[in-house]
Amino acid sequence: MTDTSIPAAPKGATGILVLADGSIIWGKGFGATGSAVGEVCFNTAMTGYQEVMTDPSYAGQIVTFTFPHIGNVGTNDDDVEADAAHALGCIVREDVTEPSSFRNSKPFDQWMTDQGRIGLSGVDTRALTRRIREAGAPNAVIAHDPDGQFDIDDLLAKARDWAGLEGMDLASQVTGHQTRIWGSGIWRLGHGYASMDEMETHSHVGNGTGERPHVVAIDYGAKRNIFRNLVKAGAKVTVVPAQTSLDEIMALEPDGVFLSNGPGDPAATGEYAVPVIQALLEKDVPIFGICLGHQMLALAAGAKTIKMFQGHRGANHPVQRLEDGPDNGKVEITSMNHGFAVDGASLPDTMMETHKSLFDGSNCGIQIIGKRAFGVQYHPEASPGPQDSFYLFEKFVGGLA
């Protein structure tokens, strides 16, 4: 039964969020109609809502935006990180307004409808964010009906029956299913995405033969801007599906292997991914992992991962370097999106911690001692977010020359 202490729907309510504990949050629905069940999280970025909604790492999640004015610059075909939206829906404070950007091609609410994603506006997002911080990320159902008709008991049952993200492999659902050559660089205002010809003109990275080092990127749910930055750093990039075998990877003759971000539990995805990564380590293939890829690299080297209480999602996360050398102690402001983390207490002697979060001290980077393999928990490609960490792509690709 529902929580009888929750008041009846306010007049004009066409959207609802039903938490697994029986709590109900009313609002105004926008975007697609229907319902979706997932984990409610929050993101503190002030910009980049379209990139967030299309980030495959948000599969299975409903995003609460702490910045109140979401949708105010509309949408366009460039600011996407995948072919379609992967976040199940979003929760915002203010109503979506008319777009105010010259780059707009479609209002955000219409884009949400076309993507089949549900939005809920008019919500006290500060209160919901505090609730997540204090009680953890809850399972919930978001629903939209223009007539305001909801079967709350049915929605509550769906929220309570959903198993949650722990133990769930989502990478196999969001990965690309074809091997492909990535052919563009980063975006610039007035120029769009750089072509390979333009990148050849401006790249200073090579392997000494005039050819770009070949990076095979394993797509566990990758953001496009990662591939763009690898190209910008001087690599030729071949993208392969999440479940690509070791033999198939080695047949591509990689100079290095990249492990992408992605959604779900790293231990679940690791059932098929970790043995491949371990074999790559045994062959001393250079490896760079981001987010989920970082976590599975750690698993392959003997560490453990844990489900976080509330996760890290935003574009203002301070991370401190712990590496030897002149950059030791330097702080980067980073973009993050993860609900699982490497357990810093589980790192074996063969692994060195290279970065840590200054918010909570959690692990944000590793280096496998004696191997050309490293990973970071955050997103150095940003999109959205700061560009403090672009150097990591140059470090990886430059080391392949």
Q: Which residues are catalytic?
A: 291, 379, 381
CB 303 within 8 Å of CB 351 = yes
CB 57 within 8 Å of CB 38 = no
Query: Which 8-state DSSP code applies to residue 95?
Result: P
Q: Please name which of 100, 27, 10, 249 lies closest in space to residue 18, comparing C-alpha atoms.
A: 27
Helices (H) and strands (E) in the chain, counts: 11, 19
Cα 145 to Cα 168: distance, rounded to the nearest angstrom: 29
Is 278 exposed, middle or buried, given 0-12, 13-18 or 19+ CB atoms closer than 10 A?
middle
Cα 375 to Cα 363: distance, rounded to the nearest angstrom: 11
Can you spell out the DSSP letters for 1-45?
A: ---TTSPPPPTT--EEEEETTS-EEEEEEEES-EEEEEEEEEE--
Cα 266 to Cα 168: distance, rounded to the nearest angstrom: 9
Buried (b) or exposed (e) across 124-148, using 16+ Cβ within 10 A?
ebeebbebbeeeebbbbbbbbbeeb
Bridge partners, residue 306, by sequence: 341
